Structure 1
Amino acid sequence: MNLLDLSLKVNGYPIKRAISVLRAIQHQGELERSGHLHRRRQSILNYHLENNPFYRDFLGSGPVNDWDKLPVLTKADLRLPLSKRLSKGFGRHNVHIHKTSGSSGHPLIFAKDKFCHAMAWAVNQNRFGWHGIDQNKDLQARFYGIPLDWKGYQKERLKDRLSSRYRFPIFDLSDQKMEEFVGIFAKRPFVYINGYTSSIVLFAKYLERENIQIKSLCPTLTHCFVTSEMLFDSDKELLERVLQVPVINEYGASELDLIAFSHPDGDFRLNNETQYVEILDENDHPLPAGQAGRIVITNFYNWAHPMIRYDIGDTGIIAPSTHILRPGLDQLIGRTNDVAILPDGKRVPGLTFYYVTKSLIEDNSPVEEFVIEQHQADVFKILYTSQRDLDRSETKAIEGAILTYLGQQVQLSIERVEVMDRSRRGKLKQFISYL
């Protein structure tokens, strides 16, 4: 048993059993998988009805025999103290407790029982294994944030040592720091890069600007895995061109599991082994594949804490050609709260707004990163980092594109900053509304 799996076992996480259960699920045929989805969601529902007072109160007197009529759980519903949300027999002594990053504006403390957490690790290892990566042996170049408090910092560093990974600090992404990163790549046999999309993109832009061939310095590098932030097609093309390795997209949630992962066949494969994924409209009604809606997920194995029809806060589209053994996420559109509300009441998806600006900026300027802020219904600001100030013709082009896209007049300011204000975990939120 390798060091990471051994550490999980020592701490009470039955990783070996989880791997065995996952393999059995993956050997199911079409009818077996359909039965698995139905049985597991009914089993977890019945369990929490019997053993979780919080969830019983949440359901109220509504019907429980029609899945589509079960109420949707949101982060707002989970703002009670954790001790009041746990099932009978569970407490801090026998669960895995963690907190979401809060990038959506609502950090959440949650719990998983130890088998549930082991299943999440089993899925994670399996997905990286699709691409020939052994997380316990292959050295990872980790572009992530890290808790800034002493205890949290030391805990993450210990996990890095156990997990065969070297963490690059992403709170300082200056050229001087990037130069240090390059020096580390030249000395260590990294097999893959893993981390926040925006940070790795910025690193790739530095490499391209300085004409540095990272594969020549680190010939052991084979893959790049990006997570936690949107991966635009233009960013994927940049990363593959500069890094000269395949770029793999990961979409997950710490309170749940991996949700979707790039498959070697090319599709963005949904995880239906450990969870049930639904796309719902504004009235909580299920939408068919091919239509955009809210992503709502039920975790099959969390006995300690109910995650049943949980609204993760994202919008997406299930692939029209999806198959129960090969379920695909056609598009991940963005967060449901990333919406610009204009003076006439028109609602504009923030990430689409960002995408329009991104296309123009990257085609005609040296801008490295930027975010869009909405301060009032008619007041927007674009903050950007760059080697130089944008000239008047460049800012006029951006203003023209934004006004054309919005279809109405707004006040728009464009400001260059030295560094972007990232979250405490290091994530970059591309669109921010202060309304």
Structure 2
Amino acid sequence: MSPEVKSKMEYYFKAPTVSRYSNVENGIIAQQMPNDNAFRINWASYVVEILDLESDVPVPNGTIGRIIITDLYNLATPMIRYDTGDIGAFVNDENSTDNIPKLESIQGRKMDALYKTNGDMLNPFTMHAYVYDFPEIKQLQFIQHKEKKYEIKVNTNVMFEGESLLIENFKNDIGTDAHVDIQYVDEIPSLKSGKRKISVNLYKQ
């Protein structure tokens, strides 16, 4: 859940909102507490590691990497150092006496991450912000085709007058030397789950 979605849910439902991190293979791995955006890990059931995006080397706290899970209680199918395909970062819990790390952020699937023109990974939550910046857009999807070539698919029922601003804002985030095309579509196909990808990486698959 992005910070924008969490904020809107708390506003409309008038209640604290927390997000859980889970997957089908392991179950509930971590959860937020009220008034805390970090995720407390269920260390009693799992060993969680954050490894480099391209190698099996642990990264420092605050650095984005691959989320790796060892399930301590899956007796039927042991899962040791299982690569979830998700990316995130650790942060130390300043309120904890034993300084146990929490998940600072969980940023979606590695395969869907876009890369800036300088090679750095773009924070996926950056793209979610565009949905709120341009409310006239019904559906939005960012696609990376090559190192510096990107496409933005836009589905809108009205005359979209923010095309230049959308491209400018995206280039400020992805790199001013990026080549960005806009494609207007009637529909952005959803996955079998019903979700739609906000980003698709065809460059690094």
Which residue in the other structure is 1:338 paired with? 112
**In 1, Cα distance between equivalents of 2:65 and 2:27:** 20
Q: Provide closer, same or farther for how the CA distance between residues 349 and 341 of structure 1 changes in structure 2, counting only shifts above 3 A.
A: closer
How many angstroms apart in 2 are the aligned matches of 1:330 and 1:268?
6
Match of 2:158? 388
Aligned to 2:194: 426
1:411 corresponds, among 179, 182, 199, to 179
Of all paired residues, the percent bearing the same amino acid is 27
Partner of residue 270 from structure 1, selected from 41, 52, 66? 41
State which structure, 1 or 2, has the greater radius of gyration over its C-alpha atoms. 1
Shift of 1:423: 0.8
Instruction: Tell me the CA shift for residue 411 of structure 1.
Output: 3.2
Name the SS of the counterpart of 1:349 in structure 2. coil
Letter aligned with residue 42 of structure 2: N
SS at match of 1:367: coil
341 and 332 in structure 1: CA distance in 2 versus 1, 3 angstrom threshold: closer
**Equivalent pair of 1:376/1:434 in contact (CA under 8 Å):** yes
Report how far residue 427 of structure 1 moved: 2.2
Secondary structure of residue in 1 paired with 2:69? strand
Between structures 1 and 2, the one with greater helix share:
1
SS in 2 for 1:319: strand
Give me the whole-angstrom Cα distance separating, in 2, the residues matched to 1:390 and 1:235. Answer: 23
In structure 1, the residue matched to 2:73 is: 301
- Long gaps (5+) in structure 1: 1-230
* 1:395 CA drift (Å): 0.5
Work out whether 1:251 is the aligned partner of 2:21: yes
Alignment CA distance shift 1:360-1:334 (3 Å)? closer
Give, in whole Å, the separation in 2 of the partners of 1:315 and 1:408.
25
Matches of 1:409 and 1:285, distance apart in 2 = 31
Structure 1 counterpart of 2:133, one-letter code: D
Matches within 5 A, 1:342-381: 346-352=118-124, 355=126, 357-360=127-130, 362-381=132-151
Q: Quick one: which amino acid aligns to residue 293 of structure 1?
A: G
User: Residues 378 and 410 of structure 1 are in contact (CA less than 8 Å); yes or no, is this contact kept in structure 2?
Assistant: yes
**C-alpha separation in 2, matches of 1:351 and 1:288:** 17
On the 8 A contact 2:122/2:174 being kept in 1, the answer is no
Give the match for residue 310 of structure 1.
Answer: 82
Q: Is the 8 A contact 1:295 1:311 kept in 2?
A: yes
Task: For 1:302 and 1:340, locate their aligned partners in 2 and report how far apart those are by CA, in whole Å.
Answer: 33
Q: Is the 8 A contact 2:128 2:198 kept in 1?
A: no
* Cα shift at 1:320: 1.4
Could you give the per-residue CA deviations for residues 143-197 of structure 1, whole angstroms, max 9, x where no partner exists? xxxxxxxxxxxxxxxxxxxxxxxxxxxxxxxxxxxxxxxxxxxxxxxxxxxxxxx
**C-alpha deviation, 1:329, in angstroms:** 1.4
Question: For residues 401 and 264 of structure 1, what CA distance do their matches in structure 2 show?
Answer: 32
Distance 1:291 1:410, change over 3 A: closer
Which digits, 9 at most, give the CA deviation of each residue in 1:114-168, with x for residues without a partner? xxxxxxxxxxxxxxxxxxxxxxxxxxxxxxxxxxxxxxxxxxxxxxxxxxxxxxx
Q: Deviations over 1:172-226 (max 9, x none)?
A: xxxxxxxxxxxxxxxxxxxxxxxxxxxxxxxxxxxxxxxxxxxxxxxxxxxxxxx
Is 1:232–2:2 an aligned residue pair?
yes
- Verify the 8 A CA contact 1:272 1:327 in the aligned structure 2: no
Q: Please tell me the residue identity of whatever aligns with 1:432.
A: V
Separation (CA, whole Å) in 2 of partners of 1:363 and 1:265: 25
* Conservation of the 8 A alpha-carbon contact between 1:291 and 1:317: yes
